[in-house]
Amino acid sequence: MAEPESTLTTGARAARPPAPPGDPRLTLVFLVLCTGFVMANLDMMIVNVAFPAIQRDLSGATVAGLSWTLTGYSIVFAALLVPAGRLADRYGRRPGFLLSLAVFTAASALCAVAQAAPMLVAARVLQAIGAAGLVPTSLGILLATWPPHRRDAAVRAWISVGGVAAALAPIIGGALVAAGWRWIFLINLPIGAAGLLIGRRVLPHARTGEPGPLPDFAGAVLLVLGVGAVTLGLVQAPEWGWSSGRAGGCLVGAVVLLAAFVLRSARHPVPVVPLSLLRVPAFAMANLATLAFGVCFSAMLFSVVLFSEDVWGYSPLRAGLALAPGTLLMPLVAVLSGRLIGRLGQAAVIALGCGLLAGGVLWWALTAQTRPHYFGTLLPGAVLTAVGSILAVGTLVAAATRDLPPPSLSTGSAVNSMVRQVGFVIGVSVFVAALGAPDTAAQAREAFQRGWLIAAACGAGAMVLGLLVPAAATRKPSRRRDRADRTAP
């Protein structure tokens, strides 16, 4: 989420010259930066595995109420990504990274000791504030520190580490939950402490020469409130009634808040979403596809763990291992995706990935029964959704940022991440609304099938939108696409 030669690097080399290629400090810097990035990615996904265990342990917790541990995290993370990056540019990425890591680690401790759902949700929101600072500052420090000829490889390695962490989240989460769900947060404490101690010694100072205006925090608040109102209306509508005043009021309030957010973004010098970027056709269409993809992906990940544990009776570890075959294919598919893009083009690969994701979810909807049937039901869908997700997400980032001017690459990739997180929020909220509160296993199966059909429709919509992403005008912009890959969140 940072551009190689703009606000993230201007003046950074003046603060400290790049370390020579053989400097072992680079390895320590890379490990510290990966610590923050991995923790932010892992905790975004790992709570899905622990969700049923948390619900059983916290008295009075409902699926709807506890879903805010997922949606609250994603809403705040999405809204603060761009402002956090701007603040780091203004006041320094090193202190921004260390402060964000400290906040994330302290919030993890609060999550681990939470005794009720509201406290856990509040601690997760605090975690999201830290995570929103970790992602742009870690990439910004990396770009400003690495020698130019090694920067490409370093950023690709950084992205790969974060992707592998997110992919392994179900397995790691299952193993930790087997010892108690609080361990998914406790494990962050020694890792975060080590990152802080080492980071203070090895991280370089990197600040821009021109501070620039402050980011639009009021706009970020409007975005949080608007998406939060949508989420509240969707999650609570089954209990309140879809035609109730409270549900309708939430949705109307969301429209007003989001409209105010758009108007403010059009007038603020440093908006959360620069509306001028929407005039770039590839950026606009790729972000629409990203939104639909995020809805399908989050509903898929949230539902498959919940179904296998609550309906089939799997343990958290078994549920995580059940997804392992698809997870293990991800590195291979990531390597092959570059060749596919070269042969088919970005639009076709996005459509293929979203189509496979939708197909895997649809498979579950058509084949799921109340009795476990791993090889006939869960495994095929797990493989299809894993392969489809890894094909789609990286290509969507590259397509969204491909035609942006270099000074806008950082903001463009951050906006793409924000859109994906908003999709995650909507996906979980819609699935919770579709799930309701079934009393029997048969009712639960029907509710999951209903949710999967909705998610598959969103995945199909992402496939169609992906096909509409315009192709690059010439071969020349391919170098820009490579640069966009480097800046992917």
Decide if 64 contacts 302 (C-beta within 8 A). no
For the chain, what's the residue count? 489
Please, how many CA atoms are within 13 Å of residue 215, restricted to the half-sphere of its CB?
A: 21
Q: Cα 290–295–298 angle (5° rounding)? A: 110
Decide if 357 contacts 300 (C-beta within 8 A). yes
Instruction: Say if residue 177 is exposed, middle or buried (CB neighbours under 10 Å; 0-12, 13-18, 19+).
Output: buried
Cα–Cα distance for residue pair 45/77, rounded to 1 Å: 13
Cα–Cα distance for residue pair 307/257, rounded to 1 Å: 34
Cα–Cα distance for residue pair 35/108, rounded to 1 Å: 14
Nearest alpha-carbon partner for 399 in 443, 357, 462: 462
For residue 34 the two structure tokens come to 């990966």
415-453 burial, b at 16+ Cβ within 10 Å, e below that, comes to bbbbbbbbbbbbbbbbbbbbbbeeeeeeebbebbbbbbe
Cα–Cα distance for residue pair 120/127, rounded to 1 Å: 10
pTM to 2 decimal places: 0.80
**Dihedral (CA of 241, 243, 249, 252) sign:** positive
**Residue 184, amino acid:** I
Q: Each residue of 21-50: pLDDT tens digit?
A: 445 677 888 889 888 888 887 777 788 888
Question: Going residue by residue through the chain (489 aa), what tens digit of pLDDT does each one get?
Answer: 333 333 333 333 333 434 444 456 778 888 898 888 888 877 777 888 888 889 889 877 888 888 899 888 988 988 888 888 778 777 788 899 999 999 999 999 999 999 999 999 999 999 999 998 888 888 778 877 877 777 656 766 776 677 677 667 778 888 898 889 999 999 999 999 999 999 999 888 755 555 667 778 899 899 989 999 988 888 888 888 888 888 899 999 999 999 999 999 998 888 888 888 889 999 999 999 999 999 999 999 889 989 998 899 998 889 888 888 887 787 778 778 878 888 899 999 999 999 999 999 999 999 999 999 999 999 999 999 999 998 898 889 888 888 888 767 667 777 888 898 899 999 999 999 898 888 888 999 999 999 999 999 999 999 999 999 998 754 444 444 444 444 433
Nearest alpha-carbon partner for 168 in 284, 42, 70: 42
Cβ-proximal residues to 25 (8 Å cutoff; 6+ apart), any chain: 19, 202
Q: Each residue of 347-393: pLDDT tens digit?
A: 999 999 999 999 999 999 999 999 999 999 999 999 999 999 988 98
CB 369: neighbour CB atoms within 10 A? 13
Q: Each residue of 434-452: pLDDT tens digit?
A: 988 888 889 999 999 999 9
